[in-house]
Amino acid sequence: MRIGAVGELFGTDGVRGIANEELTPEMALDLGRVIGTFKPGRIAVGCDTRISSDMLKSAVLAGIMSTGSDAIDLGVAPTPAIQFYIKETDCTAGVAVTASHNPKEYNGIKFLQDFGTEFFREMDEECERIYKSKTFKIASWKDVGRLHRDDCKEMYVNAIVDSIEIDKKYRVVVDCGNGASYLTSPEILKRLDCDVLSINSSPDGRFPARSPEPVEENLDLLKKMVVEFKADIGVAHDGDADRAVFVDENGNFVSEDVVLALMAKYYVEKNRGGIVVTPVSSSKCVEDVVKEAGGEVVYTQVGSPVVAKVMLEKNAVFGGEGNGGLIFPEHLLARDGGMAIAKVLQLMDETGKKLSELASEIPKYHMIKGKVPCRDKIKLLEGLRREFPDANFVDGARIDYEDGWLLVRPSGTEPIARIFAEGKTKERAEELYNLGLKTVKKILET
Ligand code: MG
């Protein structure tokens, strides 16, 4: 049931599974007891628009109150709005009930720290120990926690709008994908004085319009509406709106890596240097523009909580993933789809350039991704150390060359090795990919 492994229960971003089958209300109740035991006090819980979200959220709230902690029900809200609320109030922790971009039958439960960021790995491991040993705090009848209700959307929208200044009036199409962003993104854009056209903006856990994952092949309607509405940009979110992906004024999809590079460059230029944190699977175009602007890139393992953790440790100016997950640390140390729209508009406003022009200034690379069967991860990693002693081993092995790079990493959840290769030309990317493939086969067959 897991998507990304840490322990047996918690993946790289909380607990995920098919709702009411793999992720049951009983589990949600126990996870509520876990967080109430681990971070007692006031714990806020919000959810996305999935059909099973109310069921699971109710169980989490009950579990929290049974430990004696107060629970705050934030209702449906984007994950970054839940996170911002936790950061700004006296909450000791929080919970987001969401399966993010996963298919509609899934749901998930992830824990949040008092400053809004997801739990780090060691905290999830501690929670997994409490969960398995069932060493929950149990309050007496008179000490069970109380239920409060609050709204986190207004506070979140205000914080974004107040931090952004835009002179020009932009036209924007926003594709909420029937997810939680319908409550905040259209409002953010209106308050930034944009002409807004919202599509797929009714909450619907069946996700009738498109999959909750905002990948290019799901965005035909957005592309079409951008052209018809003569919009300056189009933006689409995943189910819980911590990710945002963009379409330019011509209706062309802008690669997530290009937007990541644009924002990284913008932040490093503004700060006259600084550290940008991104996973080892991100495009070299990010490092190219960051170095040119006088900054430095620090690579991490794949997964947004670890990016946030390293950003905190390194006091980074910016960070993010090549899937539309962008982290603006002065606002919130977590991926934030609402702030991503506002920042892209601010960059366009300050430079006076269209999104297609800005994107054309980012160095071009070709990336190839693939996978091969791999049952022996230790053998693979040991072999990679022998074959590529100078590689970066932060997550698998990443080998950088003048004109590209190769990454081989064993999957955390499946018996496969993932191979990523990127080159200045398609031919170079293919050459590096084949080198990866040949090396994996050589290691596993000897
Ligand atoms: Mg998400």
DSSP characters over 128-140: HHHHHHT------
Q: How far is the CA of 214 from the centre of ligand 1 (A)?
A: 10
Q: How far is the CA of 284 from the centre of ligand 1 (A)?
A: 24
The pairing of beta strand 253-254 with beta strand 244-247 = antiparallel
Which pLDDT score, from 0 to 100, does residue 36 have? 98
Q: Does residue 298 contact residue 275 with C-beta atoms inside 8 Å?
A: yes
Q: How far is the CA of 370 from the centre of ligand 1 (A)?
A: 23
Does residue 5 surpass a pLDDT of 50? no
Which pLDDT score, from 0 to 100, does residue 262 have? 98
Which pLDDT score, from 0 to 100, does residue 7 have? 62
Q: How far is the CA of 239 from the centre of ligand 1 (A)?
A: 6
Residues taking part in catalysis: 100
Q: How far is the CA of 212 from the centre of ligand 1 (A)?
A: 9
CA nearest neighbour of 324 among 277, 371, 254, 265: 254
Where is 42: in which H helix or E strand? strand 42-47
How does DSSP classify residue 416? E
**Token code pair at residue 177:** 């994908």
Q: Does residue 176 contact residue 148 with C-beta atoms inside 8 Å?
A: no
Q: How far is the CA of 386 from the centre of ligand 1 (A)?
A: 37
Does residue 177 surpass a pLDDT of 50? yes
Alpha-carbon distance of 322 to 261, in angstroms, equals: 9
Q: Where are the beta strands (DSSP E) in 256-346?
A: 275-279, 296-300, 318-320, 326-327
415: burial class by Cβ within 10 Å (0-12, 13-18, 19+)? exposed
Alpha-carbon distance of 131 to 31, in angstroms, equals: 7
Q: How far is the CA of 171 from the centre of ligand 1 (A)?
A: 25
Q: Does residue 189 contact residue 174 with C-beta atoms inside 8 Å?
A: yes
> Percentage of residues in the chain with pLDDT exceeding 70?
98
Q: Does residue 276 contact residue 267 with C-beta atoms inside 8 Å?
A: yes
Contacts of 291 (CB under 8 A, 6+ apart): 297
Q: Quickly name the fold that domain 163-252 has.
A: Alpha-D-Glucose-1,6-Bisphosphate; Chain A, domain 3 (3.40.120)
Alpha-carbon distance of 53 to 122, in angstroms, equals: 26
Amino acid at 54: D
Q: How far is CA 352 from the centre of its chain?
A: 29
Q: Is the pTM of this model over 0.85?
A: yes
Does residue 91 surpass a pLDDT of 90? yes
Please state the rounded mean pLDDT for residues 16-41.
97
**205 to each of 103, 107, 302, how far by Cα in Å?**
10, 11, 28
Q: Identify residues whose C-beta is under 5 A from ligand 1, the ion.
A: 100, 238, 240, 242
Q: How far is the CA of 424 from the centre of ligand 1 (A)?
A: 30
Superfamily of 256-360 according to CATH: Alpha-D-Glucose-1,6-Bisphosphate, subunit A, domain 3 (3.40.120.10)
Express each pLDDT in 386-429 by its tens digit.
Answer: 999 999 999 999 999 999 999 999 987 778 999 999 999 999 99
Q: How far is the CA of 352 from the centre of ligand 1 (A)?
A: 30
Q: Do domains 163-252 and 366-445 have the same CATH topology?
A: no
Least confident range from 1-5, 42-46, 85-89, 292-296: namely 1-5
The pairing of beta strand 326-327 with beta strand 15-18 = unpaired
Contacts of 406 (CB under 8 A, 6+ apart): 398, 399, 419, 420, 421, 432, 433, 435, 436
Task: Please count the residues of the chain.
Answer: 446
Q: How far is the CA of 243 from the centre of ligand 1 (A)?
A: 6
Q: How far is the CA of 413 from the centre of ligand 1 (A)?
A: 19
Q: Does residue 405 contact residue 419 with C-beta atoms inside 8 Å?
A: no
Q: How far is the CA of 13 from the centre of ligand 1 (A)?
A: 10
Which pLDDT score, from 0 to 100, does residue 4 have? 40
Task: Specify which residues 296 forms β-bridges with.
Answer: 275
Average pLDDT, the chain: 96
Please state the rounded mean pLDDT for residues 126-150.
97
Where is 57: in which H helix or E strand? helix 53-66
Q: Would you say the C-alpha torsion 96, 6, 23, 322 has a positive or negative sign? A: positive
Q: How far is CA 379 from the centre of its chain?
A: 31
pLDDT-derived band at 336 (thresholds 50, 70, 90) equals: very high
Alpha-carbon distance of 93 to 438, in angstroms, equals: 47
Where is 84: in which H helix or E strand? helix 79-88
The architecture in CATH of the region 15-152 reads: 3-Layer(aba) Sandwich (3.40)
pLDDT-derived band at 1 (thresholds 50, 70, 90) equals: very low
Which pLDDT score, from 0 to 100, does residue 6 have? 46
Which pLDDT score, from 0 to 100, does residue 123 have? 96
Does residue 3 surpass a pLDDT of 60? no
Amino acid at 415: P
Alpha-carbon distance of 28 to 42, in angstroms, equals: 18
Superfamily of 366-445 according to CATH: Alpha-D-phosphohexomutase, C-terminal domain (3.30.310.50)
Q: How far is the CA of 68 from the centre of ligand 1 (A)?
A: 30
Domain positions in the chain:
15-152, 163-252, 256-360, 366-445
**Token code pair at residue 339:** 């702030």
Which pLDDT score, from 0 to 100, does residue 405 have? 97
Helices (H), 100-219: 121-133, 153-163, 185-191
Does residue 8 surpass a pLDDT of 80? no
